[in-house]
Amino acid sequence: FAPVNNTTEVKSVEMHHEALSEALPGDNVGFNVKNVSVKDIRRGNVCGDSKSDPPQEAAQFTSQVIILNHPGQISAGYSPVIDCHTAHIACKFAELK
């Protein structure tokens, strides 16, 4: 799990509390892991294959943002709170194009 660098092994992949041998695109699945407490996993953590392609924290990223309503002017250096998937975090606009 990134960005905390917890590593573990997946015990099972499940859909509606039934084990799956394979998950397909569009399946809403959960998974059970060995020796990791619920307290060790936080909202926004990312899981991945730690051996071949481990997830890493991004120092910066490029995005397309649509602002529906804002009372003031937005410029480089503005720090809005961004909701991305389950994360809720302040980001700083470095550059506007």
Q: What is the pTM of this model?
A: 0.55
Task: Give the pLDDT confidence score for residue 46 in this predicted structure.
Answer: 86
Give the tens place of pLDDT for each residue, 50-78: 889 988 878 888 888 888 899 999 999 99
Distance of CA 11 to the CA centre of its chain: 21
What span, in angstroms and rounded, lies between the C-alpha atoms of 66 and 84? 13
What span, in angstroms and rounded, lies between the C-alpha atoms of 14 and 65? 34
Q: Within 13 Å, how many C-alpha atoms sit on residue 2's CB side?
A: 11
Asked whether 89 and 44 are in contact (CB, 8 A), the reply is yes
Q: Residue 3 pLDDT more than 80?
A: no
